[in-house]
């Protein structure tokens, strides 16, 4: 077991700022830190240029019970397509739960979509498998990290 110390910092100028105006009438400076017990770490880069509907993480590989508040992990995803690439639906990467072919079927199983350069950090209860899908075949790649906070299955 090891300790992981994530930090999230959000900053923005007020909307009245002359340089880099922010989205609100006030300036924002928000910071949060934590200290997490981690039992396992894994990472991968998923190539989305030729294949769709790929399994990212199989929940059964990380926990046998998926007990609420006990089992789980923290996930980091990043759309590796350059931030200055065209921002259109063709370069979006969708993350969802369930099984293959679920993300294009509708919004029910889609959790979120990452545009070029965007990332996500969030907890996962390991209760459902996570899949990735691309909008079109010219999407780049998805960087994936898992930091497990429980024993493996």
Q: ∠ at Cα 89 (19, 58), nearest 5°?
A: 105
The b-or-e profile of 68-81 (16+ CB within 10 A means b, else e) is: eeebbbbbebbbbb
Q: Where are the domains of the chain?
A: 1-35, 39-148
Residue 140 pLDDT > 70, yes or no?
A: yes
* Chain CA centroid to CA 65, Å: 23
Provide the pLDDT for residue 54: 85
Provide the pLDDT for residue 123: 93
Provide the pLDDT for residue 113: 87
> How much is the average pLDDT of 134-144?
77
Provide the pLDDT for residue 142: 92
**pLDDT per residue over 4-62, tens digit each?**
999 999 999 999 999 999 999 999 999 999 999 898 999 999 988 766 678 899 988 88
Q: Confirm if 60 and 148 have CB atoms less than 8 A apart.
A: no
> How much is the average pLDDT of 100-128?
80
Q: What is the DSSP letter of 90?
A: G
State the CATH architecture for 39-148.
Answer: Sandwich (2.60)
pLDDT-wise least confident of 25-39, 113-127, 135-149: 135-149
**pLDDT per residue over 70-109, tens digit each?**
778 999 999 988 766 555 556 788 888 866 555 655 567 8
């Amino acid at each position: 077991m090891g300790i992981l110390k994530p930090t999230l910092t959000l900053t923005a100028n007020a909307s009245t700022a002359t340089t880099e105006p922010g989205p609100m009438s006030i300036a924002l400076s928000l910071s949060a830190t934590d200290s997490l017990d981690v039992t396992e770490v894994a990472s991968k880069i998923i190539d989305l240029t030729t294949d769709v509907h790929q399994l990212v993480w199989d929940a059964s590989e990380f926990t046998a019970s998926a007990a609420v508040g006990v089992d789980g992990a923290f996930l980091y995803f990043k759309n590796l397509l350059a931030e200055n690439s065209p921002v259109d639906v063709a370069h979006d990467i969708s993350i969802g739960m369930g099984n293959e072919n679920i993300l294009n079927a509708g919004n029910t199983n889609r959790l979120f979509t990452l545009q070029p350069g965007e990332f996500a950090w969030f907890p996962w209860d390991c209760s459902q498998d996570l899949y990735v899908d691309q909008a079109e075949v010219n999407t780049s790649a998805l960087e994936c990290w898992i930091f497990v906070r429980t024993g493996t299955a």
